[in-house]
Amino acid sequence: MPRRRGGTLLAVMLTVIVLAAMGAALAQRAVAHVEVARAHARTDAARAAADGAIVAAWHGWDGVQRGNDAVGAVATQLASADSAAVVVSIVHPSARLWWVSAAAWTPGGAGGRLVARSSGMALWIRVAAPVPLAAISGAGEVDLAPLARLVGPALPPSGWNCPLAPALEAIVFAPPATLRSPPGAVVGGIALPSSSLTDVPAAWAAERSVIAGQADVVLPGDTTLETPTLADSTLCASGWGSPDRTGRGPPCPRRFVVAHARGALTLRGVGQGVLQVDGPLVLDDGARLTGLVIARGPVTLRGSARLTGALVLVGGAGSRVSLLDSARVEGSGCAVAGALAGGTLLTEVPAHAWYRLR
Amino acid sequence: MHRVTRAVGMGFTLAESLVGMVLAGMIAIMLVTVCVRQGAAGTAALLRAAARSQWADSRGVLAGDLAALSQGAGRLLIADDTLIELDAHVGAALLCKPTTGGSAALTVTALGLTGLVVADGWTRAIASGDSVLAFDPAQGLWVGGVLVDAQPGLCPPGPLGGVGRTLTVAALGASLSLPIGAPVQLRRRVRWSAYRAADGRWYLGLRERAGHAWATVQPVAGPLDTRGGRPLPFSLADATGQPISTPGGWATAAQLEVRLAMLGDSPADRVPLVAALRRRP
**String of DSSP letters for A225-277:** E-HHHHT-TT-TTTS------SSSS-S-TT--EEEEESS-EEE-SEEEEEEEE
Distance CA B30, CA A149 (A): 103
- Give the model's pLDDT for residue A309: 93
- Give the model's pLDDT for residue B281: 46
The dihedral through the CA atoms of A18, A21, A23, A25 has a sign that is negative
- Give the model's pLDDT for residue B9: 56
Q: A18: nearest CA in chain B?
A: B35
Q: Which residues contact A102 (CB under 8 A, 6 or more apart)?
A: A49, A50, A51, A53, A54, A57, A86, A87, A88, A89, A118, A119, A120, B118
Q: Given a cut of 80, is residue B102 above it in pLDDT?
A: no
> Mind listing the pLDDT tens digit for each residue in B9-52?
567 788 888 888 899 999 999 989 988 888 888 777 777 777 77
Closest CA to B118 of A46, A70, A104, A61: A104
- In sequence order, the β-bridge partners of residue A309 are A291, A331
More confident residue, A140 or A308: A308
Distance CA A57, CA B145 (A): 32
A35-39, A65-69, B60-64, B117-121, range with greatest mean pLDDT: A65-69
The whole-model pTM stands at: 0.79
Q: Which candidate from B94, B118, B135 shows the least CB-CB separation from A103?
A: B118
Q: Which candidate from A116, A351, A356 shows the least CB-CB separation from B113?
A: A116
Integer angstrom CA distances of residue B120 from A72, A120, A268, A294, B127: 17, 8, 48, 38, 17
Secondary structure of residue A56 in the 3-state scheme: helix
The percentage of residues in chain A with a pLDDT greater than 90, rounded to a whole number, is: 32
Least confident of A148-152, A247-251, B149-153: A247-251
Say which DSSP state B179 is in.
Answer: -
- Give the model's pLDDT for residue B82: 84
- Give the model's pLDDT for residue B165: 93
The percentage of residues in chain A with a pLDDT greater than 70, rounded to a whole number, is: 88
Contact B281 A124 (CB under 8 A): no
- Give the model's pLDDT for residue A277: 95
Contact A36 B53 (CB under 8 A): yes
More confident residue, A291 or B261: A291
Contact A355 B60 (CB under 8 A): no
R_g of chain B computed on alpha carbons: 31
pLDDT band at B273 (very low <50, low <70, confident <90, very high): confident
Residue-averaged pLDDT of chain A? 84
Secondary structure of residue A334 in the 3-state scheme: helix
Q: Which of B118, B133, B177, B269 would best serve as a mutation to test chain A binding (most A beta carbons within 10 A)?
A: B118
- Give the model's pLDDT for residue A195: 56
Q: A348: nearest CA in chain B?
A: B281
Contact A352 B185 (CB under 8 A): yes
Mean pLDDT along residues A288-301: 94
Mean pLDDT along residues B53-67: 75
Contact B159 A74 (CB under 8 A): yes
Q: Given a cut of 70, is residue B279 above it in pLDDT?
A: no
Least confident of A247-261, B31-45, B85-99, B144-158: A247-261
Contact B281 A353 (CB under 8 A): yes
CB pairs under 8 A between A and B: 137
Contacts of B29 in chain A (CB under 8 A): none
Contacts of A348 in chain B (CB under 8 A): 281
ipTM above 0.95, yes or no: no
> Mind listing the pLDDT tens digit for each residue in B74-96?
677 888 888 888 888 888 899 99
Contact B123 A356 (CB under 8 A): yes
Q: Which candidate from B24, B119, B158 shows the least CB-CB separation from A101?
A: B119
> Mind listing the pLDDT tens digit for each residue in A225-235?
765 555 555 66
Contacts of B280 in chain A (CB under 8 A): 350-351
Q: Which candidate from B23, B181, B278 shows the least CB-CB separation from A94?
A: B181
Whether omega before A93 lies within 30 degrees of 0, making that bond cis, reads no
> Mind listing the pLDDT tens digit for each residue in B39-49?
888 777 777 77
- In sequence order, the β-bridge partners of residue B170 are B146
Contact B183 A126 (CB under 8 A): no
CA atoms in the 13 A half-sphere facing the CB of B70:
14
Secondary structure of residue B153 in the 3-state scheme: strand
What does the buried/exposed string (b/e) look like for A48-60 if buried means 16 or more CB atoms within 10 Å of the residue's CB? Answer: bbbbbbbebbeee
Q: Given a cut of 80, is residue A145 above it in pLDDT?
A: yes
Q: Which candidate from B64, B92, B159 shows the least CB-CB separation from A91?
A: B159
A60-64, B40-44, B112-116, range with greatest mean pLDDT: A60-64
The percentage of residues in chain B with a pLDDT greater than 90, rounded to a whole number, is: 10
